[in-house]
Chain A
Amino acid sequence: MNILSVQGLTKQYPSFTLQSVSFSLSYGRIMGLIGVNGAGKTTTLKSILNMVCPDDGQIEMLGRSFPDNELACKQEIGVVFGGVDFYQHKKLRDITNVTRRFYTNWDESAYQKYMQEFNLDELKQVKQLSAGMRVKYSIALALSHHAKLLIFDEPTSGLDPVSRDDLLVLFRQLIKDGQRSILFSTHITSDLEKCADDITYIKKGKVLASAEKESFIQSFQHLKEPSDSRGLTLEEVMLRTERGSNNV
């Protein structure tokens, strides 16, 4: 059963078009949304969340139409767009005190657990946090209301290798019970190699391929060159696909 289904998502801008993006994510899976900068990853995520008004397309989340059940769906999702970059002069405690009021499933003990795990001090202001700590705070908020679907936009950007690895391990733990799924956009292919189950590749606003990781990589093996002694990695797939078309 799908936790998220995106069908024919289209958004037209004067200089860019998201063209009929379709993919689906099952329960207990991690999907990586990959593509170069400007490919349409963030626009896709924002369109899914109604932050950008799509021109066309259907979004089903947890078995319900998202536009018709926006409120109920948002109670069950956790969203992280990069790190926290709002209310720079506010203390984390103040932001949490407001955020928790909006979630019926807010779990204070889970919140405290993640704050401790991530070494976050509630009395610090947002501006006093490093980029990585801001991402961690966003994730702590998202995980504290038992979200079933976690949508992360570039969550690992700005994190040191250790924190990044910790986060990817955490991602795997989160989906272990099969009740949660994670959709995250990134251009760091090594993160996907480590933790993604499925890959959706967006190029110039179009979905080039969306499949289970191994079969995704297999489907691009035609890009292999005679000098390649082994199968292509995800990074090589991306590099060759992008460079092939741009003739770089």
Chain B
Amino acid sequence: MTAYLIRRLLYAFPILIGVNLITFLLFFVVNPPDDMARMQLGHKYVTQEAIDKWKHERGYDLPLFYNKQAEGIKTITQTIFYQKSLNLFLFRFGRSDSGRNIGADIRERMWPSLAIAVPSLFLGLAVNITFALLLVFFRRSYLETAGVTGCVILMSISALFYIIAGQYVFGKLMRLVPISGYESGLTAIKFVILPILVGVVSGIGSGVRWYRTLFLEEIEKDYVRTARAKGLSEPLVLFRHVLPNAMIPILTGVVAILPLLFMGSLLTESFFSIPGLGSYTIEAINRQDFAIVRAMVFLGSVLYILGLLLTDISYTLADPRVRLQ
């Protein structure tokens, strides 16, 4: 197990280097820093001095890979690749193009993101599993047909609609919750209720459908037939035998996305103006702050790989048939 973990961790390294190279190529080679500066300062009527100043303030005036003017180790370290890309491995995100400390921003903005993402995930999981079990319990009846049709309809509605409708009905018409905004501390509750609700409702369609197929797959197996043959009632079969076995793929799927919860949801956060990492990213995209986007890409990849690793581990814990070598 330990050997396996170490090997997996080592395997993650080349992937991160790959991610790093891709972002580097995307951000510095496709478009030289000069173009970026011009974009930031306004395309026309910009002097070369202004561009040079902009680049110097942000450290983009170094060579890409190899610094001929420096000596010794500095030929490598005094380059954009080392300063901007390799430092990400040490989680040194540096400063954003507008001069703020990215690392501190991330640490601060992580919490509002989590306050929405974690309850949405678990509430959604509970709701989806309940509905999926109900559909399986009432299989081959009109109730199931209606439920499955409802799922397809819910799936076909854009997530934007849920958010706008939620804000309009609960925020504007009924005035139950504020339309958007955020406060830290306990008062945050009234701000996060609506985003969580919207998050759960918009996930019902695809979630219930997916869990239903998992349950149906399980229900055709031999042990379920045995359980029925020995005279167990249908609810007992479902809850004691089908549910725990179907939970294996469900839980491992959840574990895979657990680390990514930190990243927050781009859409929900910017619609409800919640100062989380999702809206942070959106703001960076809209302001064309390349340093933040680069940091978030790297952070996202790290969390994704962590999720993969956790999935593998959770398989061994949840399913005794799986052994990691």
* Binding between chains A and B: no
A positions within 8 Å CB-CB of B: none
B positions within 8 Å CB-CB of A: none
